[in-house]
Amino acid sequence: MAAKKSWRSAFSIYVQPRVRSMIFLGFSAGLPFLLVFSTLSAWLRDEGVERSVIGFFSWVGVTYSIKIFWAPVIDRLPLPFLTGLLGKRRSWMLLAQLGIAAGLVGMGSSDSHTQIQQIALFAVWVAFCSATQDVVIDAYRIESVDPEYQGAMAATYVLGYRIALLAAGAGAFYIADYSSWSLAYFVMAAAMLLGLVTTLCLKEPEHAHVSGVSGAQLEKSGGAKHQGILRRLLTNFSNAVLSPFVEFFYRNGKIGLLILMLIAVYKMSDITMGVMANPFYLDLGFSKKEIAEVTKIFGFFMTIAGAGLGGVLVVRYGIMRPLLLGAVMVAATNLLFAVLAVSEPSLLLLAGVVSADNLSGGIATSVFIAYLSSLTSTAYTATQYALFSSLMTLPAQLLGGFSGMVVDSYGYAVFFIYASTVGLPAIVLVFLLMHYQSTSKTYSHNP
């Protein structure tokens, strides 16, 4: 068992070049997100586009939820010329970043009054390239460093991502206010140069050989050299799509189901609460200015502080104990919102609760990303992590859709207690996995 590292040694992880580089990749990943969502909605509404039309643009977000379908292609398909020049990950990263920049230029060049369909097509293109970039950056992050450093990589990624959200949100609004929305999108396209330069300066990580668990079985049964076209297609499909899932269960056995259950429920408490957060603040009587100042200023810095602390905790204590801490803190801070709901409105109390919530959320996010990263095989990094990230958000988003019904029926105090209770399965599952790991180590050390 490795010796526990000192706090000084744990904090020193943030001076590592690859850890610092994630700030810039996080910025590159976060920049296009708002530009095809809330910032785009604001632009269209400002130009007088009907709300019903703007609502249809929300479907662009589906692109981020279905990236699992082309993640196997990113894992296996080399790009002509670029892969030989830059390597497997950096070539796809560069192509995605160029696609985002081109799409943003296309959006900025379109007339919102006469070319609304063209804007929609460019928005879908930007979202597709952005989701592709997410898949590649996740794969690069996992393959670049050891699992104990994944928390720090996640923390610096979150920092860059949050800075990009400020640029694509408030920054784009300022530019549009002083000039035009077209210029705002042109400037955001130019800002993608930060990601492009970073990609060119990075060192390509080492990759494991993709043998294909189920693909190998097909080859043994049919003789790969003499297969027909159909059998070859089936083998390629198996290696690209089925093998990542077969390999996961082959490596984890029955415990793999428990792991997938934890992935599905870990963010439920956080996401369930988040759906009703802003309506709650408004119903308490706080002004939009007060909400923006507290949630943006305190929220930003406390989230970054929490993410950074989560990365340090992973280095010092491993992944499982900080993972448990994150689950407990997220559930506990939801109870603080229940206290806020039955108290007299106080800006100081609001700032305290929001700070605690964002701190716990930052810790839980960076540690959970480190945990998901540790579960992937380097042979199928992009595909497996895309699966995990989709499973992480989809059930929580579905459950979050019922949040308004709970509030309408029982009030905010009961809702936040309910949101806290939703976090209990995650705590129990972390305990079970810790017990399983402890038992496995005990048996492995017995003669």
pLDDT at res. 144:
87
**Do 48 and 186 meet the contact criterion of CB atoms below 8 Å apart?**
no
Distance CA 252, CA 244 (A): 12
| Cα–Cα distance for residue pair 327/363, rounded to 1 Å | 9
Does domain 254-445 match CATH 3.40.50.360?
A: no
Sign of dihedral through CA atoms 177, 178, 183, 185? negative
- Buried/exposed 204-230: b ≥16 CB within 10 Å, e otherwise: ebeeeebebbbbeebbeeeeeeeeeee
Give the chain's end-to-end CA distance (angstroms, integer): 17
pLDDT of 218 > 60? The answer is: no
Strand runs (DSSP E) across 159-272, as ranges? none
Residues 6 or more apart in contact with residue 77 via CB below 8 angstroms: none
Residues 251-286 have pLDDT tens digits of: 888 888 999 899 888 988 887 887 677 778 878 888
Helices (H), 266-400: 268-275, 277-283, 288-292, 299-317, 320-341, 347-375, 381-400
Residue ranges per domain, the chain? 9-201, 215-252, 254-445
What digits encode the pLDDT tens for the residues 321-378? 999 999 999 999 999 999 999 988 888 899 899 899 989 988 998 898 888 888 887 7
| Residue partners of 368: CB distance under 8 A and separation at least 6 | 266, 267, 323, 326, 392
Q: What is the mean pLDDT of the chain?
A: 82
User: 9-201, superfamily in CATH?
Assistant: MFS general substrate transporter like domains (1.20.1250.20)
CB proximity list for 352: less than 8 A, separation 6 or greater: 336
Cβ proximity of 7 and 178 under 8 Å = no
Looking at residue 15, the DSSP 8-state letter turns out to be G
AA letter at 349 = L
DSSP state of 167: I
Q: Do domains 9-201 and 254-445 have the same CATH topology?
A: yes
The rounded distance, in Å, linking the Cα atoms of 422 and 268 is 7
Mean pLDDT of 18-31: 92
Per-residue pLDDT tens over the stretch 279-329 = 788 788 887 677 767 776 777 788 888 888 888 888 888 889 999 999 999
pLDDT of residue 326: 93
Greater pLDDT, 99 or 149? 99
What does the alpha-carbon distance between residue 358 and residue 375 come to, in Å, rounded to a whole number? 26
**Residue in this structure with the two tokens 């010329």, named with its chain if needed:** 81
Give the global pTM: 0.73
Which pLDDT tens digit goes with each residue over 404-437?
Answer: 778 888 888 998 999 899 999 999 999 999 988 8
Listed in order, strand segments (DSSP E) in 203-267 are none
Q: What is the pLDDT of residue 24?
A: 96
Higher pLDDT, 359 or 401: 359
Tokens of 59: 């479907």
DSSP H helices in 87-149: 88-108, 116-144
What's the rounded Cα separation, in Å, for the pair 132 and 215? 25
